[in-house]
Amino acid sequence: MDLGLKGLKAVVTGGTKGIGRAIARTLAAEGAHVALCARNADEVAMTALEFSALGVKVFGGVTDVADGPGLAAFVSAAAEALGGIDIVVANVSALAVAGDEAAWQSGFAVDLMGTVRLVNAAMPHLERSAHGAIVTISSVSGREIDFAAGPYGAFKAAIIHYTHGLACQLAGKRIRANSVSPGNTYFPGGVWEQIEQGNPEFFKQALALNPTGRMGTPQEMANAAVFLASPAASFITGTNLLVDGALTKGVQF
């Protein structure tokens, strides 16, 4: 299937590691020009150089998505570098699972407002696109109560609600908005590798919850996100796509 991404311009936050990196790389491999950001300048530069070898324009920015003006400046620079924006993927999470006030503030600033501010900054460019698409990365923890109940789960649920609202509000402008809710995703340096090493008993319990007997990979999450971002998904908007290997038990109607 031709996803129709060649020549489109995409912005991905948190594009140097894990799911965000896989999304940015898959978009580039499909022929989309990509702007990505993260907080580590060396990782941004190395990732941008690597993805440039795929034959597309790649723009890297050093940005903390909790910094509203900084995020807006990155989006503006990305649009200038790429010649517009057709797709935005809001991927960054503070991974705030503690219950203290600082965790709630971090989750609000990064997960929720980082998503809202990205969309707001990109909206003038999306409105000029013939293929405007918004993809937000939520989580199964936004749909069911699990060990991440608290700020992480609450703000991931809010992202799903916010995104569905965007889909309804923007349909007349032909801008689509969808969420992807990954299940437990394992990759080197990721949170589940850290748990495997630091709390192997909990890791074993989490692994046993999945009927497939394994966790997902960043590429499996990226495949879903990139499809939803692409013109091939032209009549899909307002959905929340679970990519969890049947981890969640609630029936979706």
Q: Which residues are catalytic?
A: 138-139, 152, 156
Contact present, 41 and 17 (Cβ < 8 Å): no
Distance, in Å, from the CA atom of 199 to the CA atom of 47, rounded to the nearest integer, reads 30
Indicate the angle between helix axes 113-126 and 68-82, nearest 10 degrees. Answer: 30
Q: Is 104 exposed, middle or buried (0-12, 13-18, 19+ CB in 10 A)?
A: middle
In the numeric block, which tokens belong to residue 126?
């999306």
In the numeric block, which tokens belong to residue 1?
């299937």
